[in-house]
Structure 1
Amino acid sequence: MRFAFRFRPIALIAALIVALVGILLGNWQQDRAAYKIALQARQLARAAAPPFALNPTTATTPDLEFRRVHVQGEFVASWPVLLANRPRGSQSGFYLAMPFKIAGSDRHVLVLRGWLPRDAQFDKLPAFATPAGPVTLEGRIILSAGKVMELGDGPPLAPGVALQNVTPQALAQASGLPLLPFLVQQTLPATPADVMARDWPAPEAGIDKHRGYAFQWYALAALALLFYVMTGFRRGSRTNR
């Protein structure tokens, strides 16, 4: 049987567009994976550095995120905020966020104190204890508590409210407390009465997932070109019968 190829300009243009889109999206996913690999490396390097004392004048610099810190002061127990939809494994729950007044100043830093499980009664918020008086806590600096999807407007920011997302800037505006523009994920201290979990998830967010998506986009690009070639030969063969 004699094989012939039928050139189809419109089909070729369509195949090239699909292939180009697939390659561009595949490259984008690869770039996301590379970014998160670099993020992990920075996190590990900064976590290995000795902790430094957080003070009211600590400035936000590019190398500040993920640094370990210790800070003295008191929790503002009148302003707890619960961040909802923060699972731990297969269990749903909350992050407890609370302002922390830095000793010797009027400045505060927003502390993620830990994770609390959701009660079996859906609308019941979990109980927690707050140490009274001066404490020294340790943790690591993060620039965001993470953002989850919100449908519509959430409840107004107020003491004891459960909501999806919060930023130091929003809490400062609602509470009137001067807050530093970052957060601290608390790791220590933990007392026997402290039921909060502090095995904070690493911010890697699926490097393998990005690689898998990149493979799918590259495969789509290859399939578009292969489909054009195969159908071109088949149509050409039929024409020459």
Structure 2
Amino acid sequence: MTFMRRPTWFAVALTIAGIALFVRLGVWQLDRASEKDELLRRFAAGAAAGVEDFGKVADTPPLDRYPRLDVRGRFVSGHYYLLDDQTHAGQVGVHVYVPFSPAGASPYLLVDLGFLPKERGANPRLPPLPAGETRVRGLYVPSPGVGMRMGGDSLPGQHGAEKTMVYVDLREIGADLGHTLYPRVLLLDADPASIYTRDWTPAVMPPARHRAYAFQWFTFALAAVVIFVLLHRKRR
């Protein structure tokens, strides 16, 4: 004699759909945790790695790592691209991107000089770029994702040397410069003498939190099974 009442098809379908959804969300969170683990690993490995030849990785950078490069060339004056609404240590500010012309190469390399806090809500005053030939060293990484884009390209409507943006789109920046760009950006090494803050730890949700969310979704799936059983057990 069974202890369960015969469930309706609707109850079965609803329970199966709920379990499938919760399990799928849990697996997705585990995948996101793995992605964040890999991202952090690449940054750590790149920071500790030796310098590579820029010419060998500039056009076709490796997909599985972020090379550390030492590039000789000149900064392109008169062009600053400020990534707005950035935060660091509780301060709101901007990341300052500038084009760099590597010696013996045609495309420009977009360089992230680092973070500067805003001054009373206004964009910070930027120090002049080094003149003449110089060397830059840092990690060669993909540009920040654009996320959900609202509106079109805002760069053509701005005038002057400094232009504000809410995402980094290399094609739009290249079009504004009238010059092609390399497919990645260079995050400059930290420099105690610079006013820029260069803390390149990715500002992402920690992998442990993703795993906690996965555990939560799997718990919901188990709860759906328990609720189904409790609702359909026979009462004495």
TM-score after normalising by structure 2: 0.86
The equivalent of 1:83 in structure 2 is 83
The equivalent of 1:140 in structure 2 is 139
- Structure 1 distance, partners of 2:26, 2:57, is 43
Q: State the SS of the aligned residue for 1:127.
A: coil
- Structure 2 distance, partners of 1:93, 1:149, is 20
The equivalent of 1:127 in structure 2 is 125
Aligned-residue offset at 1:53: 3.6
The equivalent of 2:177 in structure 1 is 175
Larger Cα Rg: Structure 1 or Structure 2? 1
Aligned-residue offset at 1:104: 3.1
- Structure 2 distance, partners of 1:62, 1:143, is 11
* TM superposition outliers: structure 1 runs of 4+ over 6 Å: none
**Structure 1 pair 148–184 and aligned structure 2 pair: CA distance change class (3 A):** same
Aligned-residue offset at 1:168: 2.1
Aligned-residue offset at 1:65: 4.3
The equivalent of 1:162 in structure 2 is 164
Q: State the SS of the aligned residue for 1:71.
A: strand
**Structure 1 pair 148–63 and aligned structure 2 pair: CA distance change class (3 A):** closer
Aligned-residue offset at 1:77: 2.2
Contact 1:55 1:102 in 2 (8 A): no
**Structure 1 pair 16–207 and aligned structure 2 pair: CA distance change class (3 A):** same
Q: State the SS of the aligned residue for 1:145.
A: coil
Contact 1:56 1:102 in 2 (8 A): no
- Structure 1 distance, partners of 2:135, 2:112, is 15
Aligned-residue offset at 1:188: 5.2
Alignment-mate amino acid for residue 183 of structure 1: V
The equivalent of 1:52 in structure 2 is 52
Contact 2:190 2:199 in 1 (8 A): no
- Structure 2 distance, partners of 1:46, 1:57, is 14
- Structure 1 distance, partners of 2:26, 2:181, is 41
| Structure 1: gaps spanning 5 or more residues | none
Q: How many residues align?
A: 230
Alignment-mate amino acid for residue 8 of structure 1: P
The equivalent of 2:231 in structure 1 is 231
Aligned-residue offset at 1:86: 1.3
Q: Report % sequence identity.
A: 27
The equivalent of 2:219 in structure 1 is 219
Contact 1:186 1:198 in 2 (8 A): yes
TM-score after normalising by structure 1: 0.85
| Structure 2: gaps spanning 5 or more residues | none
Q: State the SS of the aligned residue for 1:216.
A: helix
Query: What does the per-residue CA deviation read over 1:99-131, in whole Å, with 9 as the maximum and x for residues that have no partner?
Result: 0011234331000011010121x2x21111122
Query: What does the per-residue CA deviation read over 1:183-210, in whole Å, with 9 as the maximum and x for residues that have no partner?
Result: 000115553xx31111122365421221
Tell me whether 1:107 sits opposite 2:107 in the alignment. yes
The equivalent of 1:41 in structure 2 is 41
Q: State the SS of the aligned residue for 1:112.
A: strand
After superposition, the CA RMSD in angstroms is 2.4
